[in-house]
């Protein structure tokens, strides 16, 4: 039997406005994560580990950083047919202007699907942290005889009002959808759980092309989750894949089953980084059977001199002297001078932290600089000029920011 031909369309064009200022200079999938990765690395790693080697990455807003990362870190194309990760900017083949939703983005690139001639198309987002064997979802899709399959994550029903909630029957067929309902519908036989859409879809290729052509001239929204799929429920075969059924090799017993995070706010982004830390992290990156891939680093190993480090990760090429670091994720090429204290921080590449600085719950974007004796992230600290303070007190220092010395000295 001929193997199923799969084409992945990766949605990587969103603005990510809730993650400002981290998205001021880049799209959300290009944001550094976990010391050495970009958020987009997770969906691409899932695709390759699942045996899906034909991937188009659809970009739009502030895409240059993402394009450069894909060019440098994801060069899998060669002489082997159907092995590629290709960036697709807006081609404006159908009309002028930006994409108007996920369905519109795929519609503008139907020519790519026609040329590749796949059996199924995987339409996945590029801005979530998770591991998933996509081939299992495709097998479920085929076993059900589905035309569309939606990935969904069970969550406590009291959290359902914050998400798009799917209603299914006992055969996993989708029979309803509500966006952030006041009273979420529960799963069959599990009154304490609701099914939240993950924004990941499997389509039969011919069916996808047909519904997008049909939708192209209508007014209103052109988004799969909000507009297209809810309208298909009555007449088409739309099934729901429970993410908790997915079996990824190499997971440890202490990891959270079905770990999936939409890192769409500073708090969610920071917490997902913290979830990587400790002896038994909820999401353990040390999985050789399902590796998260990214670009390499030409710098030396991290150098740590007379430093106390606990529950932390430190990237290649970083140089740390006489510091105290607890529960922090330190990127590559970071310089931390003597006497600095870091607690629950996310420090991206090439950041400089001056001597005797104290940082608590700080996210420092790439190439930023913090002067000696700074005091950032504590209740008594002044608000850093040019920086963002979240509702929970997280301090985000934007890319290339040089924090002024005279305003950030420690409170005596």
Predicted confidence (pLDDT) per residue in 38-49, tens digit? 999 999 999 999
In angstroms, the CA 54 to CA 261 distance is 25
Predicted confidence (pLDDT) per residue in 278-332, tens digit? 999 999 999 999 999 998 888 899 999 999 999 999 999 999 999 999 999 999 9
- pLDDT for 221 beyond 80: no
Beta bridge partners of 186: none
- Residues 6 or more apart whose CB falls under 8 angstroms from that of 140 comprise 149, 239, 241, 245
Average pLDDT, integer, range 146-175:
92
- Residue 2: pLDDT band (50, 70, 90) is confident
- pLDDT for 411 beyond 60: no
The CATH fold of domain 6-262: Spore Coat Polysaccharide Biosynthesis Protein SpsA; Chain A (3.90.550)
In angstroms, the CA 403 to CA 385 distance is 7
Task: Note if the bond before 21 is cis, omega within 30 degrees.
Answer: yes
pLDDT at 100: 75
Beta bridge partners of 195: 154, 166
Q: CA dist 87 to 62, 82, 285, 408, Å?
A: 13, 15, 26, 42
Record the pTM: 0.93
**Are the beta carbons of 54 and 8 closer than 8 angstroms?**
yes
pLDDT at 135: 97
Task: Determine which of 51-55, 78-82, 246-250 has the lowest per-residue pLDDT on average.
Answer: 78-82
Q: What is the dihedral of CA 263, 267, 272, 275, to 10 degrees?
A: -160
pLDDT at 78: 66
Give the full edge-to-edge strand order of the sheet including 375-376: 308-310, 324-326, 341-343, 358-360, 375-376
In angstroms, the CA 76 to CA 78 distance is 6
- The segment(s) of the chain belonging to CATH 2.160.10.10 are 303-397
Helix, strand, or coil here: 69?
A: helix
Q: Which CATH architecture has domain 303-397?
A: 3 Solenoid (2.160)
- The segment(s) of the chain belonging to CATH 3.90.550.10 are 6-262
Identify which has the larger pLDDT, 404 or 381: 404
First to last CA, the chain: 75
């Amino acid at each position: 039997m001929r193997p199923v031909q799969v084409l992945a369309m990766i949605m990587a064009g969103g603005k990510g406005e809730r993650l400002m200022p981290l998205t001021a200079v880049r799209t959300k999938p290009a944001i550094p994560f976990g010391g050495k990765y970009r958020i987009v690395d997770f969906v691409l790693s899932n695709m390759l580990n699942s045996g899906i080697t034909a991937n188009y990455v659809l970009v739009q807003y502030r895409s240059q950083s993402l394009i450069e990362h894909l060019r440098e870190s994801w060069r899998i194309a060669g002489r082997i047919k159907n092995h590629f990760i290709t960036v697709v900017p807006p081609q404006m083949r159908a009309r002028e202007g930006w994409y108007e939703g996920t369905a519109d983005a795929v519609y503008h690139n139907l020519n790519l699907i026609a040329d590749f001639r796949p059996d199924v198309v995987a339409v996945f987002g590029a801005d979530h942290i998770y591991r998933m064997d996509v081939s299992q979802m495709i097998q479920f899709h085929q076993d059900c005889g589905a035309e569309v399959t939606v990935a969904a994550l069970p969550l406590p029903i009291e959290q359902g009002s914050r998400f798009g909630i799917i209603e299914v029957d006992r055969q996993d067929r989708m029979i309803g959808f509500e966006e952030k309902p006041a009273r979420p519908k529960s799963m069959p036989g599990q009154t304490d759980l609701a099914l939240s859409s993950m924004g990941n879809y499997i389509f039969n290729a011919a069916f996808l092309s047909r519904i997008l052509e049909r939708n192209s001239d209508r007014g209103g929204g052109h988004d799969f989750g909000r507009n297209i799929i809810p309208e298909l429920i009555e007449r088409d075969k739309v099934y729901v894949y429970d993410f908790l059924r997915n079996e990824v090799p190499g997971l440890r017993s202490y990891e959270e089953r079905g770990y999936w995070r939409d890192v769409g706010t500073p708090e969610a982004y920071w917490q997902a980084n913290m979830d990587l830390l400790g002896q038994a992290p909820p999401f353990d990156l040390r999985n050789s059977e399902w590796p998260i891939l990214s670009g390499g680093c030409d710098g030396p190993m991290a150098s740590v001199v007379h430093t106390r480090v606990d529950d932390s990760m430190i990237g290649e090429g970083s140089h740390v002297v006489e510091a105290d670091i607890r529960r922090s994720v330190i990127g590559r090429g970071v310089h931390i001078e003597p006497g600095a204290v870091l607690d629950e921080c996310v420090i991206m590449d090439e950041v400089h932290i001056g001597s005797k600085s104290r940082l608590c719950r700080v996210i420092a974007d790439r190439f930023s600089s913090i002067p000696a004796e700074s005091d950032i992230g504590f209740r008594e600290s002044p608000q850093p000029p040019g920086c963002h303070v979240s509702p929970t007190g997280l301090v985000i220092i934007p890319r290339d920011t040089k924090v002024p010395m005279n305003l950030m000295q420690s409170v005596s």
